[in-house]
């Protein structure tokens, strides 16, 4: 049953931080085995659902029914995946099925039930089932397996008492954990609360990501960091492409091991480039939220220019608008202001 909060308890929000793991080859192999075991649980549920649908029986979709079906097979069925991790996969399947059923009852016929198998499925571990001390994370494993303790690339930005769950997942070729914490909504004393009569407008731009104008002043977040990272990445990509142009396989030709290594390295560099751009956008949104907080602005009006993305403006401007990431800018701005009464 969900926890009941007292009526006078402070309002809380849930925030999630994604942190990469620093693992040894053996730890990396074991973590990916856990994700593959989660995929086995997902495939098992799909096969069970297809079998019951073929026989005309009612599907098992609730979390309690799926857990009873899982416990009937006994422990140790899915490698080193613990019971907690296996049940988190069942919870994920049940939530996906219920969400689709709700959409279809509302008339959305484009929603589809989960019937596609996945090779890697994340596993979630709730408070009390895992160990987290500074940068050391102890991942629960099945009984009899050796302990699995991995290192985080950075410390968790939340207090240890507020952490509610960690989710092991694969972001491309990188192993990560999503740390979810329960944070109290920030309150203000008398004279420091935002004034509802103070309104500020935020404009999203290509050259400068965020520009804000208010009655108390204005703020312009420079986009020099974004442009510098993009130009360096473009120059590096062109140089790498020229260096391997002669070794590129033809259409229908199987690539060599050297070519596969080049592609793997390219994926790593592309992922690093995307993470750097996302970090700059988060820092820009943080600057706006700090300005709003210092000036006690009560309402923030954000322009949504996504309607101009479909307009034809030439190949150069079309590329600039495609790399704009308007939705991500709006999302990080909402995420930075979440937990504050604006």
pLDDT score recorded for residue 7: 45
What is the DSSP-derived secondary structure letter of residue 237?
Answer: H
Kindly state the helix (H) or strand (E) to which residue 95 belongs, with its residue range: helix 83-105
**Claim to verify: residue 52 and residue 161 sit in the same structural domain:** yes
20-32 pLDDT, tens per residue? 899 999 999 999 9
**Claim to verify: residue 176 and residue 62 sit in the same structural domain:** yes
SS3 273: helix
**Claim to verify: residue 31 and residue 55 sit in the same structural domain:** yes
**Claim to verify: residue 176 and residue 76 sit in the same structural domain:** yes
49-66 pLDDT, tens per residue? 898 888 888 888 899 988
pLDDT score recorded for residue 25: 92
Q: Where among 136, 151, 184 does a domain terminate?
A: 184
**Claim to verify: residue 238 and residue 141 sit in the same structural domain:** no
**Claim to verify: residue 201 and residue 135 sit in the same structural domain:** no
**Claim to verify: residue 162 and residue 260 sit in the same structural domain:** no
Handedness of CA 312, 316, 322, 328 (dihedral sign): negative
Which of 88-102, 129-143, 161-175, 307-321 comes out lowest in average pLDDT?
Answer: 307-321
Q: Contacts from 100-107 at CB under 8 Å and sequence distance 24+?
A: 101/61
**Claim to verify: residue 140 and residue 265 sit in the same structural domain:** no
User: pTM higher than 0.85, yes or no?
Assistant: no
On whether residue 4 sits in a domain, the answer given is no
pLDDT score recorded for residue 86: 92
Phi and psi at residue 13, to the nearest 5°: -135, 155
Q: Where among 163, 184, 205 does a domain terminate?
A: 184
Give the chain's domain count: 2
On whether residue 190 sits in a domain, the answer given is no
On whether residue 1 sits in a domain, the answer given is no
**Claim to verify: residue 121 and residue 167 sit in the same structural domain:** yes
Comparing 323 with 114, which gets the higher pLDDT?
Answer: 114
pLDDT score recorded for residue 10: 57
Order of all β-strands in the sheet with 195-204: 217-221, 210-214, 195-204, 297-302
Q: Where among 184, 215, 240 does a domain terminate?
A: 184
On whether residue 296 sits in a domain, the answer given is yes
Rounded to whole angstroms, what are the CA distances from 67 to 45, 62, 84? 11, 9, 10
Q: By C-alpha distance, which of 309, 307, 303, 308 is closest to 330? A: 303
Q: How far apart are CA 309 and CA 318, in angstroms?
A: 8
32-49 pLDDT, tens per residue? 999 999 999 999 999 988
Q: How far apart are CA 47 and CA 145, in angstroms?
A: 27
Cα atoms in the 13 Å half-sphere on the side-chain side of 286? 6
Q: Which domain holds residue 79?
A: 12-184
On whether residue 152 sits in a domain, the answer given is yes
**Claim to verify: residue 305 and residue 333 sit in the same structural domain:** yes
**Claim to verify: residue 147 and residue 216 sit in the same structural domain:** no
127-160 pLDDT, tens per residue? 999 999 888 999 999 988 899 999 998 888 888 8
């Amino acid at each position: 049953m969900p926890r009941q909060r007292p009526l006078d308890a402070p309002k809380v929000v849930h925030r999630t931080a994604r942190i990469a793991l620093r693992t040894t080859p053996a730890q990396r192999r074991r973590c990916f085995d856990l994700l593959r075991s989660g995929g086995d649980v997902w495939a098992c549920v799909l096969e069970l659902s297809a079998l019951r649908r073929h026989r005309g029986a009612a599907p098992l979709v609730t979390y309690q029914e799926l857990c009873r079906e899982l416990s009937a097979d006994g422990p140790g069925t899915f490698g080193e995946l613990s019971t907690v991790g296996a049940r988190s996969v069942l919870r994920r399947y049940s939530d996906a099925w219920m969400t689709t059923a709700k959409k279809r009852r509302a008339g959305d016929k484009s929603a589809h039930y989960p019937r596609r198998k996945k090779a890697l499925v994340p596993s979630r571990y709730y408070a009390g089932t895992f160990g987290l001390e500074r940068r050391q994370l102890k991942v629960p494993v099945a009984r009899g397996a050796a302990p699995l303790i991995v290192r985080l690339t950075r410390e968790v930005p939340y207090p240890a008492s507020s952490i509610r769950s960690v989710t092991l997942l694969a972001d491309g070729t990188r192993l990560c954990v999503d740390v979810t914490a329960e944070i109290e909504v920030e309150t203000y004393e008398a004279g420091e609360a935002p004034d509802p009569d103070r309104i500020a407008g935020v404009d999203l731009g290509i050259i400068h990501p965020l520009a804000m104008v208010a009655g108390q002043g204005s703020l312009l977040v420079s986009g020099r960091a974004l442009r510098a990272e993009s130009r360096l990445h473009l120059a590096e990509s062109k140089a790498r492409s020229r260096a391997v142009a002669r070794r590129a396989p033809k259409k229908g030709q199987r690539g060599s091991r050297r070519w596969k290594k080049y592609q793997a390295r390219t994926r790593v560099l592309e992922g690093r480039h995307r993470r750097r751009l996302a970090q700059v956008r988060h820092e820009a949104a943080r600057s706006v939220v700090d300005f709003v907080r210092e000036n006690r602005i009560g309402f923030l009006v954000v322009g949504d220019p996504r309607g101009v993305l479909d307009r034809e403006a030439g190949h150069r401007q079309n590329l600039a608008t495609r790399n704009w990431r308007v939705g991500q800018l709006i999302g990080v701005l909402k995420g930075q202001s979440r937990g504050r009464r604006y």
